[in-house]
Amino acid sequence: MNAIALTDVVKQVRDLPSLPLIVMELIESFEQKDISISVLADKVSHDQALAAKTLRLANSSFYGLQSKVKTIQQAITVLGFDSVRALITAAAVIDNFGAKEGTSFNFKGFWRQAIGTALCAKSLARMSNLNQDYAFISGLLHDIGKLVLVTRFPQQYEQARLHRIANDCYMLDAERAVLAVDHTAVGRALAEHWKFPPLIQRAIANHHAPLAQDLGDIPSVVHVANAVVHALDLGEQEDDLVPHIAENAWNSLNIERTALQRVFRETESEFEEVCQILAA
């Protein structure tokens, strides 16, 4: 029997290694109005590995700054607190889920797909006049439930993977058939545990099938971005199936189809450099 109870998933989520304290503070700050940015910048600066990765991103072609940023405080001044917070959170989450031995799961391909979706979601959000940093984080974390399942329930998840191959179906359907739980529900449980804002939780939970309340908002952006990046094959995963884009979700973003070519170019041009920094 491979079925997994959601209560067991929640227990495993609670037992996961914690994110660095400063990152948890940054996540909590998403919905706080009174934030001491200088204090947070000072705390981030004391985590040398996290600060170094963040500064590399800030100085990459992803932002195209004219002069080099040398400190976290300077990065916040130039890029804005929201963007730097998104970069720090992204770097910390990726560091928290390293590859595990003894599993056939493609961790490299997973993070390539996640980073591509984050970049694409940010580009789509800009065109739709939505919060680009929420879109970036939501895109990066949209499939995070898969990592919980593959690291905490490796044998059961391997059965789901074999079911997907045998039936040539989407991984989401294989998870539901074999495990009785899927990565969207697990991802939402993790996002709730980490206290991400409800909008980001919804984007993770509903990225395969946006609900009425998600139309014209970040969950629809991530839904479209996920399909686009699968179509571009940025994850380089064998036998990958491109998800269907819900027409109502696409229409709700009010993006001209001709603008998609620009989204493709932006995503692909930034992709390899950001992967080298975040997922090296």
Count how many domains the chain has.
Answer: 1
DSSP 65: -
Dihedral sign for Cα atoms in the order 85, 87, 92, 97:
positive
The answer to whether residue 134 sits within a structural domain is yes
67: helix, strand or coil: coil
Spell out the residues 6+ positions from residue 105 whose beta carbon is closer than 8 angstroms to its own: 146, 150, 154, 157, 161
The answer to whether residue 120 sits within a structural domain is yes
Task: Identify the helix (H) or strand (E) that includes residue 88.
Answer: helix 81-96
Residue linked to tokens 């940093």: 133
Q: What is the CB neighbour count within 10 angstroms for residue 226?
A: 24
Output the pLDDT for position 233.
Answer: 87
The answer to whether residue 121 sits within a structural domain is yes
Output the pLDDT for position 1.
Answer: 58
The answer to whether residue 42 sits within a structural domain is yes
Q: Which domain holds residue 216?
A: 6-278
- Structural contact between residues 124 and 253, judged by C-beta atoms closer than 8 angstroms: yes
Q: How far is residue 149's CA from residue 152's CA, in Å, rounded to a whole number?
A: 5
The answer to whether residue 15 sits within a structural domain is yes
Cβ neighbourhood burial of 273 (10 Å; 0-12, 13-18, 19+): middle
Residues in the chain: 280
What CATH number has the domain bearing residue 58?
Answer: 1.10.3210.10
Return per-residue pLDDT of the chain as tens, 280 residues: 578 988 899 898 888 878 888 899 889 888 877 778 888 888 888 888 888 888 988 898 888 888 899 999 888 888 888 888 998 899 889 888 866 666 778 888 999 999 999 999 999 999 999 999 999 999 999 999 999 999 999 999 999 999 999 999 999 999 999 999 999 999 999 999 999 999 999 999 999 999 999 999 999 999 999 999 998 888 777 677 889 999 999 999 999 878 888 888 888 988 999 998 888 6
Cβ neighbourhood burial of 23 (10 Å; 0-12, 13-18, 19+): buried
The answer to whether residue 219 sits within a structural domain is yes
The answer to whether residue 1 sits within a structural domain is no
pTM listed for this prediction: 0.92
